[in-house]
A = this chain, B = another copy of it.
Amino acid sequence: MSQGTGRANKRDAVLRESARLFAERGVEATTMRVIADACGMQAASLYHHFASKDELVAAILVRSDAHITGLYDAIRDASLEPVDRLEAMIRATLDNLGHYRDAARIYYRDRAHVAASPLLTQVRDHAVAHDELWDRTIDAAITAGRISPRFAATGLRRLLQELMWSTARLRGDAVSADDIVHVLLRGVLAPEPGCGEPARRPES
């Protein structure tokens, strides 16, 4: 009903182009006129789809937040060993980064803007809940002796998150998600009693 398939869905085009520009140049440095140019329209016409620049940014971030929140909820409900849950969370994050790369780059690049926008309270609340799941999972893995006790849960969580988010800037550049999981898990897990590979390996 609302948006037909035959009609060109310009709102989505605006979301896509603006997300790309925000991610590349930053929110503040990207003007409404540049976004409009990229969409083949006029700056004032953007306000037919979005009430303000802030609302445009929020729409981009809410999309990505809904996706990752769904993934995390499924992981939270599943019964998994701590290390398996940790790997599932890493893969979920990397999956989200793959589908909503620009949104993730905006989120972790313009943190001051995200923290200040009144339209992002729900996104911020979700982020807190996600961090708690991370901390609980890492704590459980440390207690189970599967992660070196040299790390503290909060510190390791932030380290892993930063490492994963940073990969959002590596487009297909010869670095696969499996490579990243490999580096992170192998660097963090305690050595298996049976020597050899530190844990599981990708199913290559």
Contacts and interface: CB of A to CB of B under 8 A. Distances in A.
Interface of A: 24-29, 109-110, 112-113, 150-152, 154-156, 158-159, 162-163, 165-167, 169-170, 173-175, 179-180, 182-188, 191, 195-198, 204
B191 A196 contact: yes
B196 A188 contact: no
Given A26-B29, A183-B187, A195-B196, 15 more contacts: A25-B112, A150-B204, A151-B179, A156-B175, A158-B173, A158-B175, A159-B183, A162-B166, A163-B166, A183-B184, A186-B186, A186-B187, A186-B198, A191-B196, A195-B195
A158 B187 contact: no
A138 B186 CA distance: 19
Q: Give the number of copies in the complex.
A: 2
Nearest to A183: B187
A150 B110 contact: no
Contacts of A26: 26, 28-29, 109-110, 112
Shortest 6 CB-CB distances between A and B: which pairs? A155-B174, A187-B187, A183-B187, A166-B166, A28-B29, A162-B166
Given A28-B29, A150-B179, A167 B162 contact: yes
Contact of A112 (B29, B110, B112, B187): B29
